[in-house]
Homo-oligomer: A and B are copies of this chain.
Amino acid sequence: MILRKIRSEGLSHNSYFIADSGDAAVIDPRRDCQVYLDLASSSASRITSVFETHRNEDYVSGSLELSGRTGAAVYHGAALDFSFGRPVSEGDRFRIGRLELAVLETPGHTRESISLVMRDLSVSPDPLVIFTGDALFAGDVGRTDLFGPEKAEWAAGTLYDALHGKVLPLGDGVIVCPAHGAGSVCGGEIADLELSTIGFERAHNPCFQLDRESFIARKKSEHHYTPPYFSTMERLNRAGPPVISHIPRPDPLDPQGLEEKKRTGAQVLDTRSPEAFGGGHIPGSISLWRDGIPSLAGCVLSYDRPVVIVDDFDPRPDPVVKRLVRLGYDAIGGYLAGGFPAWSRSGRAVGRLETWSVATLREALEKERFILLDVRDQKNRETTGFVMGSRHIYVGELVSRLAEIPKDKKVVVYCDAGFKGSLAASLLLAAGFAKVANVIGGFSGWKAAGYPIEGKVTG
């Protein structure tokens, strides 16, 4: 038996490769599917089945891509009418060598969510592993708000029933392999565990310490963002995303080439650090660090315009392109060869963004007048508190709420550590705000420095 977890950085997405006796399956593959082909080669097996635990809303599914390279069949939960693949239902069983995967319908996160129970029939007919998709994570369960508020109660109850009625009874000794690790947009409280078991979750997952009513209440009270790109992902993943065959290799651009791309509609994505963006940037560019792409690009980049990448000297566009393509941004317009220094060396106009340390903020609060904007997500603000006097707009909603901020005032932005703040500040600059600053170190630095905190939820 071979079982490998494949982590996709930034997305906190896990896919799984299992193989036995020359046969292999992949669960929830990502779009850049070379990794599965390599595992198949090294294990002398042939990928014959691809399973999707649910229609993902946070990345483009790699099922068609992988099926195109291998001829594997694609399987989905039957409760959604996909335009490709084959429906599977409760109790369907699949053999991968001596392994068996059995379908458990575990709706709640989405209607067609399934879990897959793996047995090694060469050892025992009892289950050994469960692939839970977005139904159950280490320390959390899937979000149930995607059906809208009117169905929130039904969705939460449905998930409760599936978990308690089907998953927990499998037994404490069953290993849990979820589709996401800590940091995913698909569950707010996912623990930073490499591995878990039903027994461990039963004892320690807060969601399992509640009765049905309390569970539903908890789920209904959760706040999740639904970024605009979710709808694009859902549409693509239902219809079958375009097969690209290769992750594109972005063309190098010189400053003139980049300028032309920009003139003809390209979005300039600056993947450098907040400090570097502060010290100098291409006017109009969007500041979004590499590992923020999976969770935030979908909130701020358009699908209709090509993306041009600006990195530091010694640019590494390939990991950026990979992250973009996983989200369906297939139109990559190139990257600035030589990185930002090539731009400044060309004598072109350079933008700057004030960077404030937390000490600067502290002093300024007593002396200056400005709008202090907290762009962290709401839960973070609620649970850890905030800087006195700060207004709150989540960075993912900033573009649609710009009108709430007066353009003639100085705006100082902070987030957790300075990265999302740089994104927010770049959006403000691009929208014509003239006086903007970003607090590097963010709320983490503020707190570590021992400065006063407001509104913290006790306990």
Measured CB to CB, the residues of A under 8 A from B are 1-3, 22, 37, 40-41, 44-46, 69, 120, 122-124, 126, 128-129, 139, 171-175, 191-204, 245-246, 249, 251-252, 254, 272-281, 289-291, 312-315, 318, 337-341, 343-350, 352-353, 355, 357-359, 417-419, 440-442, 444-451
Contacts and interface: CB of A to CB of B under 8 A. Distances in A.
Contact of A124 (B198, B204, B273, B449): B204
Contact of A345 (B277, B290, B314, B417): B417
B345 A441 contact: yes
Contacts of A448: 345-347
Nearest to A123: B191
A128 B445 contact: no
Contact of A337 (B22, B122, B345, B442): B22
B289 A313 contact: yes
A106 B119 CA distance: 30
Nearest to A422: B279
Contacts of A120: 191-193
A417 B341 contact: yes
A194 B341 contact: no
Nearest to A192: B1
A315 B358 CA distance: 23
Nearest to A37: B249
A365 B41 CA distance: 41
B276 A272 contact: yes
A203 B124 contact: yes
Contact of A280 (B22, B45, B203, B355): B355
B273 A312 contact: yes
| Leading 10 A-B pairs by shortest Cβ distance | A173-B199, A275-B279, A347-B449, A347-B448, A278-B279, A344-B441, A172-B172, A350-B357, A276-B276, A173-B197
